[in-house]
Amino acid sequence: MPHVRILAGVASALIATSACADASRKAPVEDGYHIPYVVGSGGEKRDVMNVPGSVTVLSRKFMDDIQATSVQDALRYAPGVQVMGR
């Protein structure tokens, strides 16, 4: 009879461990914005890391998140840009 109790204890520990492992396997949280490239004034695509100077990118996802309905709404979040009116 003691073997049955030990076996039951080990089995319940294994079940609890596998349940915890399944709970910890969640999809990665996407909490930022990833920009693979930027489009220059001439229309050419460039890697963000290879653009000379500083670049502020306002992605479509970012504009959707802030619910921008105009260029002024979007540019309010660009550093060094002042938007007048409206």
Does 26 map to a domain?
no
Rounded CA separation 55/40 (Å): 10
What is the reported pLDDT for 47?
Answer: 84
What's the structural domain count of the chain? 1
Domain of 48? Answer: 37-75
* DSSP codes of every residue in the chain: -HHHHHHHHHHHHHHHHHHHHHHH-PPPP--S----EEE-TTS-EEEGGGSSS------HHHHHHTT--SHHHHHTTSTT------
Residue 8 lies in a domain: no
Residue 42 lies in a domain: yes
Residue 55 falls inside a structural domain: yes
pLDDT tens digits, 5-64:
555 554 555 455 444 444 455 555 566 677 778 887 788 888 878 877 777 778 888 889
- pLDDT 10s digits, 60-79: 888 899 999 988 888 888 88
